[in-house]
Amino acid sequence: MTNQNMPVIDMRGTGLRITQLRKASGKTVRDLQDIFGFGTPQAIYKWQQGAALPTIDNLIVLAAVFDVTVDEILVVGGRG
């Protein structure tokens, strides 16, 4: 298997998935900010925009909050 065929996380797709799951759960960005104890919502907006990915720990919390698996949050595609 070459590096060109390795799976990669689609950051934009994952951000869209986080947004969809958040809305489907009835949660606001502020709700997530409070759950994570963030002082500002910037990290959550970055996740939703695909500009950054949640840490593994935060992915586990998101999965619990949305009642899904981590695999259901991450959008993975092949490169090449």
pLDDT in tens, 23-60: 999 999 999 999 999 999 999 999 999 999 999 999 99
What is the domain-level CATH number for residue 42?
Answer: 1.10.260.40
The kind and range of the H/E element at 36 are helix 29-36
What angle, rounded to 10 degrees, do the helices at 42-49 and 29-36 form?
Answer: 120
Would residue 71 count as lying in a domain? yes
76 by DSSP, 3-state: which? strand
pLDDT in tens, 61-75: 999 999 999 999 999
Would residue 4 count as lying in a domain? no
Domain that holds residue 23: 11-75
The alpha carbon dihedral of 57, 59, 60, 66 has a sign of positive
Would residue 21 count as lying in a domain? yes
Would residue 6 count as lying in a domain? no
Give the Cβ contact number of residue 10 at 10 Å: 15
Would residue 47 count as lying in a domain? yes
Would residue 49 count as lying in a domain? yes
Would residue 1 count as lying in a domain? no
Q: What is the pTM of this model?
A: 0.90
The total of structural domains in the chain comes to 1
Would residue 2 count as lying in a domain? no
